[in-house]
Amino acid sequence: MVLRSPHLDKAAVLGIYLASLLAPTWCWGNVGHRTVAYLATKYLDEAELALMQVMTDYDDLSDAAVWADEVAHLPAYDYARSWHYINVQDVPPVNCGINLTRDHQAQSGDIITAFVNHTAIVRSSSTCVEEKGEAMRFLLHWIGDVHQPLHAEGLARGGVDLPVVFAGMPTNLHFVWDVAMIDKYRGEGDEKEISRTWADEIHARDRDPRLITNRECDQISSPMHCILAWAKQSNKAVCEIVLKENVTDHDLSLDYYEENISFLEIMVTLAGRRLGAWMKAIAADAVVRSSVHYDAWPLDQTPMG
């Protein structure tokens, strides 16, 4: 596969750098999250997609996937700030590994416990429609987040405090993995169009999409098993890929980018497949619990968003 590397001029790089200072630093950028959502929808049938649109209250599930970042700055959602990551207290690149007894953020929570709790909220018969919708939007977002390796790392606040350079401009390692490498790979423009195109390309390479989603963890009755496995995979990559060599103050837009962009795309691919499998499982569970078929939902309702 030939990876495209569009040229970034100084103005574009400056814009990236300024965005890294102003934007939240705990998530994939919008293109990453939207691509994961668009890819995931390709594994849903028409009825499953319609149900997810009703549950999230968004017609475009990529809008639902970025919702958690859009509300993150609001005081009403201060309680959820730490739910985008887990600060693993290991020593990369010498040693990586998640120890929940050591790494769990008991007071504020983390992406592991939040994912488990919100899967339960979506499945519960005692939660209202609004609670289920908010929980489902969080889940769409967190499955993307947990596949960004630095969301499963505590060193330098997941790389936020690790200074690097990208295309000659100072930034931080976390932002490089969230946004800068994706922007260099996919180019700039309308983020939805860029994300749709990327998802189309990834999906076109799937030999048997149904078989692929059937392989992914979808045990919504025991979500800890799945989210922990995904987080461990990301954390392992911190030692083996992200921080295998010293990156401090290095320009990561050159050899580092070329060596790692394929892996970044693999993680986006896995996130899309796993989100698709998770949504399919939740849709099937909703049907069993309500004893109705998908087409019993009010599909003539136009989800907001």
Which residues have C-beta within 8 Å of that of residue 231, sequence separation ≥ 6?
A: 86, 98, 111, 112, 146, 151, 152
Domains of the chain: 30-296 (1.10.575.10)
Residue 44 CA: distances (Å) to CA of 37, 81, 210: 11, 30, 9
Structure confidence at residue 287 (pLDDT): 87
Mapped onto helix, strand or coil, the DSSP state of residue 257 is helix
Structure confidence at residue 14 (pLDDT): 38
Does residue 213 carry a pLDDT above 60? Answer: yes
Structure confidence at residue 20 (pLDDT): 39
Does residue 5 carry a pLDDT above 60? Answer: no
Q: Are 275 and 37 in contact (CB under 8 A)?
A: yes
Distance CA 121, CA 118 (A): 5
Structure confidence at residue 291 (pLDDT): 58
- The mean predicted confidence, pLDDT, of the chain is 88
pTM: 0.86
Residue 299 per-residue DSSP state: T
What does the pLDDT average to over 166-177? 98
Which residues have C-beta within 8 Å of that of residue 214, sequence separation ≥ 6?
A: 277
Structure confidence at residue 53 (pLDDT): 97
Distance CA 286, CA 56 (A): 14
Does residue 163 carry a pLDDT above 60? Answer: yes
CA dihedral 114, 116, 122, 124 (to 10 degrees): -120
Structure confidence at residue 42 (pLDDT): 97
Quick one: tokens of 120? 């339960």
Quick one: tokens of 177? 């993995």
pLDDT digits (tens, 9 = 90+) for 106-126: 889 999 999 999 999 999 999
Mapped onto helix, strand or coil, the DSSP state of residue 146 is coil
Quick one: tokens of 160? 């936020």
What does the pLDDT average to over 206-220? 85
Does residue 4 carry a pLDDT above 90? Answer: no
Does residue 304 carry a pLDDT above 70? Answer: no
Does residue 217 carry a pLDDT above 80? Answer: yes
Structure confidence at residue 27 (pLDDT): 56
Structure confidence at residue 303 (pLDDT): 42
Does residue 274 carry a pLDDT above 60? Answer: yes
